[in-house]
Amino acid sequence: MNFKKISLIFAIALTIAGSMKLPAFGMVATDANSQENEFNAVSESEISMDVSYGYDGNAKSGRFVPVNVTVKSDKDAPFTGTLRVEAMESDFDIYQYDYPVSLKGMEILDQSLDIPAGRADTLYVKLLDQSGNELIRKRLKTNVTPETAELFVGILSDNADKLSYMEGVGVNYSSVRIKTFNMKTEKMPDHVIGLGVLDVLVITDYDTKQLSKDQVSAIWAWVKEGGTLLLGTGARADDTLFAFQSDLLEKQYAPPAERSVDMGVEYSTNGPGDSFLNLVCADVSLKGGTGVFSNDQFSVLTSVSKGKGIVGVAAYDFADISSFCETHRSYVDKLFTTILGDTRLNNLSSYLYSGNSGQFWSVQNMLNTGNVDKLPKLALYIVLILGYIILVGPGLYLYLKKKERRGYYRTAVVVISFIFTAVIYLTGIKTRFKDTFFTYATILDSTKDYVDEYTYINMRTPYNKAYTISLDPSYMILPITRSNNYEMSPVPKFLGDEDYKVRVGYGNGDTKVSVQNAAAFTPKYFSLQKRTPNTDHRGLLGDITLSDGKVYGTVTNEYPFPVEKVGVLMYGKMILLDELKPGETVKLDGAPVINYPINNAFNVSARVTGSYQYPKADIDNPDYMLALSRTNILSFYLDKYSTAYNQEARIVAFSSNQTDSQFLAKGNYETFGMSMFTSTLDVNTRKFGVVSHSALIKPPKVISGQYYSDSNATYAVDPVALEYFLGNDLEIDKLSFENPSADFTNNDNVSYINLFKGDIYFYNHDTGNYDVMTAGKLDYTAGELTPYLSPGNTLTVKYVSDNAEGKNWYITLPMLTVTGRDK
């Protein structure tokens, strides 16, 4: 064959290949939302698919990410298929999420999906036909900076461009970098999952009346789960605060007016007073709020804790300080570092490396009790085995020898072996798992309008084979996995062709979860979450006042069943009730108040549930196991949904009325777990004109030494000096130092707590020296405090520990409570 013939054949082959619709792969290197590694097995004139996700293509591991899909059909016939999203989780397992999709002829379908982001670096979105054949594939690469943790800030403003000064600012010594996203009213999520990828939401120069009731409810739920809401006021204070004022404002505020605001002496360039800006400000007072930045006459920035999150309200509009912040970008660092705190920012930094592992270990610890009824009775098996040995050994031999029938010995051994095998098998029937089984923990958090359910499950099977279960489709499902970074395992390539480990298929009647290639009894943890209207007005209601260390008010059980082990938890104080019958109201006046150490969730939970009463673990005692299960779920709840200082009271309770399979749609599976009921109430700190609140409402300023505000603890080696802010709006009557109750200090069944022992000094503003206080003195009157209070009602206290044993341990400091009257 000559060269001309070869060329002719090659040209014909190219022409044929060009006319065929062959799969094609292409790389696109554009912006973050570009689809790389695209695959199309259908004609573009028939069906096409466009995909975008996250906020400007950004996502975070361990969170949900919005994926927006547009499928377009250009053919007359209807199309039925599946949208599949694939992600690699932090343990390197492949998870698939399947959604049914149907199009009429010539129809365009827009669908928004909330997908667990996995490792948050790559997602694959595929369109499958009715037979499961892949038609179109889009590979989405995330905008992730692996070297620096990012603080995702959503901005809702009519002039969002004026807040561009926040973009890219390094926070907390540049360990975290801000990434901003402009939000639109019509695209604001109406459920908490849609906001999950954000760390901070800034609303300023905006009319919140445009937000729907569901959107506002989603924002509040997001805050209580750990989000930070930052509100700017200024001239449009009424507009910005409208949707939040009933939950935030303590009283009406004066009309906004122009004021001189000191931005900080560090921003003076030409001398004292050069750091002042004339801004339109609103002097806003928050319920349980504390000043973060203050001028002499009003608070420039006030914050209040809500659940695990924070709400901050600025006196000015953040758009009005744009020119200043463009010049002084460090002010943005100062603002976010102060409002978020070191602990939150450090957690963001560590999350870059540890991923979702912290939640994995917490959930595992909560669910590790299991059903002890499944444990074999060891003593019974020992008796059976010893009986078998004695019987088939000397017993049977001597018996047959006596009867002169030793020839039957071998036959008798076989028969007795079969009999004992059957006995042992029948004895162990109750201890065997025949099918997939679940351990779960459910938290039901009720308000007057809705009930939030948080259910955590551990799903296992006793076989080395694939299995599928059906869950209630009303739940949002998030896998909980641990990071393989701890094992220094290399990250495998994720090409989109790997076999799945877990597949979640969303249908109308159920959500099917399929697991394959998993060893027997391998745990699979999931978080299930849903919100339902509280049409029956169920919950734990109350009216609570805390004044001078005493609690007044009532608690009512609005559930149609009795609840027990009821705990009313405030900041560092609790009241315990044994039981509340359906509809029963109990007065709290005069009830014993127990002081508890903050940030010690397990010990606090053990005191509520009663597990602290057991001197040692006893898995054969059902009462102990019940108390331990309740302790684990309450401890998890306090760690996940509580925070340092919180003005609210949390009512927690348990019930013997369990609905073990509420999360299952089909199937008769074994389930074992625990449900807990909670409600959150505002606490009134004012009684007969007297105001009483914790001095830790604002973390004290560290003058010297080491101090950990989240646990109110210090390191025993060195003295520590702290400046407490007692409130410049109070005429102080009394200051009290309070230690945890004896339940936590004189109980061998409670983890040891190191209380502060040593000398306490107050800084004397008249002499400039520290004066030692009387040993054991806990209460100080206004007259005694006069030389120690600054003009702004701050008190500087030095703690010098009596570290006679020379141990390097953490010391729990007293909690300070201030009582006074409004100025």
The pLDDT, as a whole number, for residue 15 is 38
pLDDT at 371: 64
CB atoms within 10 A of CB 680: 18
CA distances from 659 to 185, 367, 563 (A): 39, 17, 14
User: 765 versus 58: which is more confidently predicted?
Assistant: 765
Domain boundary among 661, 687, 713: 687
User: Does a structural domain hold residue 479?
Assistant: no
Residue 99's pLDDT band (cuts 50, 70, 90): very high
Mean pLDDT of 626-639: 92
Question: Residues 45, 10: one domain?
Answer: yes
pLDDT exceeds cutoff 80 at 648: yes
CA distance 28 to 30: 6
One domain for residues 174 and 283: yes
Average pLDDT, integer, range 24-34: 34
Contact call for residues 588 and 681 (beta carbons, < 8 A): no
Compute the average pLDDT of residues 723-748: 84
In-domain check, residue 384: yes
Q: Looking at the predicted structure, is the pLDDT value of residue 37 above 70?
A: no
Domain of 585?
Answer: 540-687
Asked whether residue 13 falls in the same domain as residue 77, the answer is: yes
Find the mean pLDDT for residues 461-477: 93
Dig out the tokens for 6 from the structure.
């070869």
One-character DSSP codes across 95-160: EEEEEEEEE-TT-EEEEEEEEE-TTSSEEEEEEEETTS-EEEEEEEE----TTSEEEEEEEE-TTG
Residue 586 scores a pLDDT above 60 = yes
pLDDT band at 53 (very low <50, low <70, confident <90, very high): confident
Does the pLDDT value for residue 106 go beyond 80? Answer: yes
Residue 352 token pair: 């870059």
Question: Is residue 494 included in any domain, yes or no?
Answer: no
| Angle between the N-to-C axes of helices 622-641 and 357-366, in degrees from 0 to 180, rounded to the nearest 10 | 160
The pLDDT value recorded for residue 374 is 65
> What's the mean pLDDT when you consider all of the chain?
85
Check if the beta carbon of residue 81 is closer than 8 Å to that of residue 375.
no
Residue 22 has a pLDDT of 32
Q: Same structural domain for residues 162 and 44?
A: no
Mean pLDDT over residues 357-368, rounded? 86
| Mean pLDDT, residues 242-259 | 89
CB count in 10 Å sphere of residue 424: 15
Q: What is the mean pLDDT of residues 45-64?
A: 84
* C-beta of residue 737 within 8 angstroms of C-beta of residue 799: no
pLDDT of residue 3: 38
The single residue listed with the structure tokens 């949002």 is: 476
Q: How far apart are CA 96 and CA 501, in angstroms?
A: 8
pLDDT, tens digit, 9 for 90 and up, residues 191-221:
888 898 899 999 999 999 999 999 999 999 8
State the pLDDT at residue 660.
66
Nearest to 554 by CA among 564, 572, 571, 540: 540
Relative to beta strand 134-141, strand 108-116 is: unpaired
pLDDT digit string, tens, across residues 55-80: 888 888 778 888 999 999 988 899 99
Residue 441 lies in a domain: no
**Same-domain pairing of 620 and 717:** no
pLDDT grade for 107, boundaries at 50, 70 and 90:
very high
Domain termination residue (choose one: 141, 168, 203): 141
Residues 6+ apart with CB under 8 A from 416: 388, 391, 392, 396
- Residue 489 domain flag: no
Q: Are residues 676 and 707 in the same domain?
A: no
Q: Is the pLDDT of residue 752 over 70?
A: no
Say whether both 131 and 166 belong to one domain: no
d(CA 544, CA 454): 26
Task: Residue 183: give its domain's CATH number.
Answer: 3.40.50
pLDDT higher than threshold 70 for residue 342: yes
Total structural domains within the chain: 5
Same domain, 628 and 728: no
Mean pLDDT, range 213-235, rounded to an integer: 93
Q: What is the pLDDT of residue 16?
A: 36
In the prediction, which pLDDT does 733 show? 92
Tokens standing for 612? Answer: 């602290």
The answer to whether residue 498 is domain-embedded is no
DSSP 547-615: ETTEEEEEEEE-SSS-EEEEEEEETTEEEEEEEE-TT-EEE-TT---EE--TT-HHHHHHHHHSGGG-S
Using alpha carbons, select from 27, 28, 48 the residue that is nearest to residue 127.
48
Range name among 142-151, 283-292, 352-361, 480-489 with the lowest pLDDT average: 352-361
Q: 702: domain CATH number?
A: 2.60.120
568 and 666 part of one domain:
yes
Classify residue 99: in a domain, yes or no.
Answer: yes
With a pLDDT cut of 70, the percent of the chain lying above it is 88
Q: Strand 794-801 and strand 758-763: pairing?
A: antiparallel
Q: What is the mean pLDDT of residues 225-254?
A: 91
Distance CA 308, CA 642 (A): 5
Residue 485 has pLDDT above 70, yes or no: no
Token pair of 86 as six digits: 């694939």
Check whether 514 has a pLDDT greater than 60. yes
pLDDT at 393: 79
Beginning with the edge strand found earlier in the chain, give each strand of the sheet holding 794-801 in spatial order: 701-704, 720-725, 794-801, 758-763, 770-772
pLDDT mean over 597-610: 88
Single-letter residue type at 628: L
The bridge status of strand 134-141 relative to strand 94-103 is unpaired
Establish if 381 belongs to a structural domain: yes
- Averaged pLDDT for residues 716-730: 85
> Does 277 lie in the same domain as 185?
yes
Return all residues near 108 (Cβ < 8 A) that are at least 6 apart: 70, 71, 72, 73
What pLDDT is stored for residue 753 in this prediction?
A: 75
Please tell me whether residues 220 and 137 are part of one structural domain.
no
Q: CATH code at 118?
A: 2.60.40.10
The verdict on 181 and 325 lying in the same domain is yes
Of 598 and 241, the structure prediction assigns the larger pLDDT to 241
Q: Is the pLDDT score of 803 beyond 90?
A: no
Give dist(CA 740, CA 397) in Å, integer.
Answer: 69
Identify the domain boundary among 141, 166, 184. Answer: 141
Confidence of residue 251 (pLDDT cuts 50, 70, 90): confident
Dist. CA 527–CA 366, nearest whole Å: 13
The mean pLDDT of 610-630, rounded to a whole number, is 86
pLDDT value of position 29: 32
Rounded Cα distance between 428 and 302, Å, is: 62
Backbone angles phi, psi at 339, to 5 degrees: -75, -35
DSSP code for 206: S
| pTM, to two decimals | 0.84
Q: Among 6-10, 151-155, 771-775, where is mean pLDDT lowest? A: 6-10
The predicted model gives 765-793 an average pLDDT of 92
